[in-house]
Amino acid sequence: MSPDYYLLDELLTDEARAVRDRVRAFVDSDVLPVINDYWDRAEFPWPLVPKLAALGIVGSTIQGYGCPGLSRLAAGMVSLEISRGDGSVNTFLGVQSGLAMGTINLLGSEEQRQRWLPGMATLDLIGAFALTEPDHGSDSVALETTVRRDGGSWVLNGAKRWIGNASIADVIVVWARDTDDGKVKAIVVEKNLDGTYPDGYTAQLITGKIGKRAVWQPDVTLREVRVPLDNKLAEARSFRDATRVLTATRGGAAWESLGHAAASYEIALNYATTRHQFGRPIGSFQLVQAKLAEMLAEITAMQLYCFRMAQLQEQGRWTGPMASLAKMNHARKARQICLDARDILGGNGLLLENHVARHMTDMEVVHTYEGTDHIQALLVGRDITGISAIS
């Protein structure tokens, strides 16, 4: 069971509790027994995809179109429990439900939502979200990928990096700057009917990763890629629209961080009570008890953040700086908790079979994506001072 020192389980709705229990059972029975092998071989766990679809969670909070229409709290339980099992699976699902489907739902026309979302909700169509570029990680607003209109097509040119699912996706939301008006647009690139990608679209897997090894995050190259005119998302007119998507999804990184932290704490606590050194359990030593207490304190604070975040999102009061604060705090705290858990396990913490090493290195990825803690701190700083330290 995940740590619940302040009895927050009592605040769960019936829906959120049912979703939590369903996803937790899936993680325990289907993810944990196999994920280390996929992670070690850097292979995507394809057999888990239909099982994920059967859970009825894909599409998260989206209403209609075959999506479950989860509450924000229930959606948080999904991220928490999936990442308690594995960060790669959580990233696959987060890209699908939050970034790709979320963008289409938020910025697409009704026809576009009807065209793509039902197939994505069943995972018959896999989605990707292509924003980050090789030379523009934190400075994403400076994107250089271009789009121009040419007769009955949009034509894309440029490069993207770290694009989760982009080598297997059927639907890729590409953010590009229009060479005519200079505005940022979102263009959907689709596979051809024969399952191939359009001419000029290539996705090269990034290899040698130390974390999130079981999810594929390629480099994408776009060379004169032609896309039908009606594949431009109708309401995507500026980079502010991309920011709207990121604000809506950044809270998911906080829930994920909590999942990694909770899993690592549980593993460390169990180890501390069963591992004997010097004639007694290592959990009987003051240094270990103090470390466990500090880990629990941070996890409890993270839980309180997340529960309040869900309330504010439901009320429509959630803001970009609030999302930045949650992501900054949770990624930093979870990173340290995973390190502390690894330390409690000693040399055994280095072994994949004990899971902590996977959570620890996956947290290195979470600490970086959706904006590093330094960038999030500057976004919060700008909000509270009214002065931008970036530009």
pLDDT score for 139:
56
Q: Which two tokens stand for residue 165?
A: 């699912």
Nearest Cα to Cα of residue 200 among 220, 218, 214 = 220
Give the helix/strand (H/E) hosting 304: helix 286-314
pLDDT > 80? residue 391: no
- Supply the pTM of this predicted model: 0.95
Q: What is the mean pLDDT of the chain?
A: 95
Evaluate whether 13 touches 73 at the Cβ level (below 8 Å): yes
Q: What is the pLDDT of residues 59-100, one digit of tens each?
A: 999 999 999 999 999 999 999 999 999 999 999 999 999 999
Cβ partners under 8 Å of residue 40, min gap 6: 213, 352
Span 112-139, pLDDT tens digits = 999 999 999 999 999 999 999 998 655 5
Query: Sorting pLDDT into bands at 50, 70 and 90, what band is 140?
Result: low
Q: Of the candidates 239, 104, 119, which has an alpha carbon nearest to the alpha carbon of residue 176?
A: 239
The 8-class DSSP code of residue 198 comes to P
pLDDT at site 37: 98
pLDDT of res. 248: 79
| pLDDT, tens only, 219-231 | 999 999 999 999 9
pLDDT in tens, 92-104: 999 999 999 999 9
For each of the domains in the chain, give its residue range(s) and CATH number, in order of start: 8-121 (1.10.540.10), 127-231 (2.40.110.10), 239-385 (1.20.140.10)
pLDDT tens per residue across span 334-383: 999 999 999 999 999 999 999 999 999 999 999 988 878 888 999 999 99
